[in-house]
Amino acid sequence: MTFRNGLDSLLRPEDSVLVLIDHQPYQLANVNSHEPMMVINNTVGLAKAAKAFGVPTILTTVIAERGGNLFPQIADVFPGQEIIDRTFINTWEDKTTVDAVKATGRKQLIIAGLWTEVCVAMPTIQALGEGWDVTVVTDASGGTSVEAHEVAIHRMIAAGANMMTWLAVASEWQRDWARMDTAVKITDVVVQHAGGSGIAYLWEQQLLNTPVPSTAG
């Protein structure tokens, strides 16, 4: 196995491309590894982070006519963008999707989707075999059971994939809070989608802007 370590192994927005796979009603209905609302929240947070950092994002569904359209919360992040609808279960066998990824010129491939054990594992393992640097966002994905999700993660790690959560991806893209062009944008995403971290930030801002009471003389 080739170990993933060193500075060059960290994600860089200029080298990243995100593929969101099959975040659709049919798949979500049988997600049992995560609370469904959290999967939606985390995926939208990931999508907004990608947009904030200018990371190309490929949106794809499988037979949307039957399985349902992409979650509108995700589609709304990229208004007017084409959503690639496939018949292949394995996204990496769908030429239109793969061509869209290759057209970006990026090699850090980031994947999230439903279900982890099927629609995430298949393209991840194939892309790894073709030389791609693949990161799977585990909390913007979900499986039909905790076991299915966890076994898929172990399988993909064994194949050489990198595992991260959405907030870790966003933080790695930011890397330095001195990068003010994106710091404000990603802070807004954290406030909207990072739960306690966002609330703590708002509280901090409240305290910093609260006048100190004058003491009686």
Catalytic residue among 39, 119, 164, 189: 119
119 given a catalytic annotation: yes
Q: Contact at 8 Å (CB) between 64 and 74?
A: no
Distance CA 150, CA 186 (A): 29
The DSSP H or E segment spanning 138 is: none
Locate all alpha helices (DSSP H) within 93-195, ordered by sequence. Answer: 95-103, 121-129, 146-159, 166-174, 180-193
Q: Which is nearest to 194 in space by CA: 178, 164, 171?
A: 171
Angle at 66 between CA 83 and CA 135, to 5 degrees: 45
Q: Residue 168, Cα to own-chain centre: how many angstroms?
A: 10
* Catalytic (active-site) positions: 119
